[in-house]
Structure 1
Amino acid sequence: MAEAKNNIKSATPFAQTYFHGTKADLKIGDFIEVGYSTNYQQHKKAKYIFLTATLDAAIWAAELSIGEGRGRIYLVEPTGEIENDPDLTDQKFKGNPSMSYRSTKPFRIVGEVTAWTGHDPEQVKAMRDRIRKLNEQGVNSLNDE
């Protein structure tokens, strides 16, 4: 029994790993940082970078990102504070159902999810159309403020 206690004491805490969906071709050990083009507007520099604790939200991000190539989902660890993404939390939706967060501090890539199933192409088209309409109506992201 004493041996079991020693094993428990030697255990180390597990760090939460999050997902980041994009079309950028990155490598393990790279950092995702602010100041580069956003996933959704080619000529706009990102003020924040985003991560999520749900695979589904990361899949949406990978599918909706602009750019060439396939969507990618990276496992990332934040290097600093993260906060709720105001576009997807209490200011627009109750709670944080997509478990989406933002930061101004880099994320370290620690892995890649290579086996995932995307949404139906009609769902992706409908989401792109909805985003386009919001942009045309002047509905802006709270992340631009």
Structure 2
Amino acid sequence: MSEIRDGGPFYHGTKAKLVPGDLLTAGFPSNYRPEVIMNHIYFTALSDGAGLAAQIAAIDGSPHVYEVEPTGDFEDDPNVTDKKFPGNPTRSYRSASALKVIREIHDWKRISDEELQGWRDRIARINESSRGEIIN
């Protein structure tokens, strides 16, 4: 575990409809590569980042952003930090422990349909290349 200096609040973006008190856990398919079962649950301290993750998820449904509280240790997300970007500019984290849903938030920036398609095209290209490996 790396030393975490971010006190939150923290957010998780998903297309699942959740209520306060629900627990988000690892062990489910990746939002971007459904054939990969994730060993961690991912979250960020940026509500717009969580919203982007919810919008580009490769599952059906409406995007939701939830304020969440980690129930255990967490670390920088290696998929977007250090190995791919210096430091943690996205304030993204992962945990093998559950995240507890505090509340749904609604004041996050939604991207346009054109931007959404651009993200989906980019993810598809990454998944087709060797760069698409998820650090799980």
- TM-score, L = length of structure 1: 0.82
The reply to whether residue 108 of structure 1 matches residue 100 of structure 2 is: yes
1:74-113 matches, cutoff 5 A: 74-113=66-105
Name the Cα RMSD after superposition: 1.5
How far 1:90 sits from its partner (Å)? 1.1
Please tell me the residue identity of whatever aligns with 2:28: Y
Q: Which runs of 5+ in 2 are unaligned?
A: 1-6
The reply to whether residue 44 of structure 1 matches residue 36 of structure 2 is: yes
Using the aligned pairs only, state the percent identity.
37
Distance (Å, rounded) in 2 between the aligned partners of 1:104 and 1:79: 10
Deviations 1:105-125 (A, max 9, x none): 000001111243301221221
Distance (Å, rounded) in 2 between the aligned partners of 1:131 and 1:64: 9
* Aligned twin of 1:127: 119
Distance (Å, rounded) in 1 between the aligned partners of 2:57 and 2:109: 16
* CA contact 2:32–2:123 (8 Å) conserved in 1: no
1:27-66 matches, cutoff 5 A: 27-66=19-58
Q: SS where residue 139 of structure 1 aligns?
A: helix
Structure 1 segments (4+ residues) deviating >4 Å: none
- TM-score, L = length of structure 2: 0.87
Distance (Å, rounded) in 2 between the aligned partners of 1:107 and 1:93: 25
Distance (Å, rounded) in 1 between the aligned partners of 2:133 and 2:48: 21
Aligned residues: 130
Deviations 1:64-109 (A, max 9, x none): 1122221000100000111001111111011111100001000000
Choose 1 or 2 for highest CA Rg: 1
Q: Which runs of 5+ in 1 are unaligned?
A: 1-14
* CA contact 1:47–1:143 (8 Å) conserved in 2: no
How far 1:60 sits from its partner (Å)? 1.0
How far 1:142 sits from its partner (Å)? 4.3
